[in-house]
Amino acid sequence: MRSDKTKKSVEKAPHRSLMKATGLTDEEISRPFIGVVNSANELIPGHIHLNQIVSAVKAGVRLAGGTPMEFSVIGMCDGIAMNHEGMKYSLPTREIIADSIELIAMGHAFDAMVFVPNCDKIVPGMLMACLRLNIPSIVVSGGPMLKGHLNGKDIDLISVFEGVGQLKAGKITQEELRELEDAACPSAGSCSGMFTANSMNCLTEALGLGLPGNGTIPAPLSARIRLAKLSGMKVMELLDKDIKPRDIATLKAFKNAIAVDMALGCSTNTVLHVPAISYEAGIELDLDDFNNMSSKVPHLCNLSPAGPYHLEDLYYAGGIQALMKRLAETDILNTDVLTVTGSTLKANLASARIVDPEIIRPINAPYHKQGGIAILRGSLAPDGAVVKQSGVAPEMMKRKGVARVFDSEEDATKAIMSGKINKGDIIVIRYEGPRGGPGMREMLTPTSAIAGMGMDKDVALITDGRFSGGTRGAAIGHISPEAAQGGPIAFVRQGDVIEIDIPERRIDLLVDEKEMEQRRKGWTPPKKELSGVLKRYANMALSADKGARYRD
């Protein structure tokens, strides 16, 4: 066992003495050491209950003969960090989470590990560490929040963000906004739609690194506690069989996960995170992998923010296993891949059942014929851009409009909220990329304001930053190269015409090359005074089309 180097032989008597100082007995020291990574904190609704989940995991480990050893990692709530300087710090936490787990796992020589995340950057950060370490491991999330209810309607966090826009447009009162605020987030858990946290938890299950139910069992249900206990027991089986994460997360498994991504209509942030995770397994994915899968996989689940359903609805409809069973009706999935159950995906799907064919549509009756995400390229984004096409109104799938240019999210939001954006405008927000932001801020506030004000069928927004999984409308992010790297978006001027053609996968700036050459002369990016984490991230981050991960 890996942990023997910390506890076997007479030379390790000092090490054992330190372990005994923590309360461990000789019997516990003799067993396999199982690292349990806990991201619980009092900051995030998705993490407020994780100590209970971790307690169940540790019970499962002990039941199966292991010694669990818990340690903590940081976690930030993107919703609370939204629309201020704090959001610049969110994406860099992904790398810090992965690095900090690697440091502890190597220093303490764990034999196996259980990862307990729940929200936006914590899930991919833990998956990156899981594949980097490549010791027997399993992931169990805290599960999704219940949906809210108000005046006979299902609501969620995005209802509140859009409510701000409705208030600004005079559509609701402050009291009605307060009612939304009080009702939208009724329980612990990751926010209840197919936003980034739930997208990544579902893809963890699709990838095979989480047990069936990992993505969809609601946080408050006892089934979530049982899943955590089973995960603790199962990691001991993975250790016994020496099944490692890279044995599971193969190229075929990643393609399965991308297929599920398209069928669910997941967050555009998956296009950042999945390639960064696969890189840790020695597998390089690019934007074409997403586009190719999008052309083959129909959009089968219409979840918030694009549709009326939520994660608990998907759970009761059969969950991710049922969706994968639906996809397995074709040749889209490879069902011979191994999973953390110790069995193949094919064996797992044998017991899956599609309970509600409206929530998990048949292959021949999808919500959309193509997958939820599209990759656009063109003169404005030579290296690619990302849009959640399942959340775009039909009227906005093709659009030619006049550019309204802003060099920060704050300036754009101020213009939107003060009624200075007109129908037909294309809002450009630049210098918000991985290096230029730095940190590639999510921009849920401006997109929600546009939707709440009723302009989501008239106004597009493009940026070298990124969007929340809760964004809907013609919101095109990850424009690459970013402005700070001298990408074409840096040279867009007020009044330029931009053409968007999502079906043709195009986004073009209708300015001739001679004019663009003139604009590039003497250009330098705006200087920002940076220090600490943001300075390091700006120097080390790759472009969005490379997952915004650190350079080697």
Alpha carbon separation from 102 to 66, 276, 327 (Å, rounded): 21, 16, 35
The residue type at 75? G
Please name which of 245, 508, 546 lies closest in space to residue 378, comparing C-alpha atoms: 508
**Do residues 168 and 452 make contact, with C-beta atoms less than 8 angstroms apart?**
yes
Within 10 angstroms of residue 435's Cβ, the number of other Cβ atoms is 25
Catalytic entry in 192, 231, 278, 468: 468
470: left (phi over 0), alpha (psi -120 to 50) or beta: alpha
Query: Dihedral (C-alpha) 484, 487, 490, 493: value to the nearest 10 degrees?
Result: 180
**Class of residue 288 by CB neighbours under 10 A (exposed 0-12, middle 13-18, buried 19+):** exposed
For the chain, count helices (H), then strands (E). 22, 14
Residue 30 burial (CB count, 10 A)? 12
Q: How many CB atoms lie within 10 A of CB 485?
A: 17
- Residue 423 CB coordination number (10 Å): 10
The reply to whether omega before 481 is within 30° of 0 (cis) is yes
Pairwise CA distance, residues 333 & 233, whole Å: 28
- 92: tokens are 């860099």
CA atoms within 13 A on the CB side of 476: 34
Active site residue 468: yes
Residue that the structure tokens 């999330």 belong to: 141
CA distances from 177 to 82, 456, 537 (A): 18, 20, 37
List the catalytic residues: 468
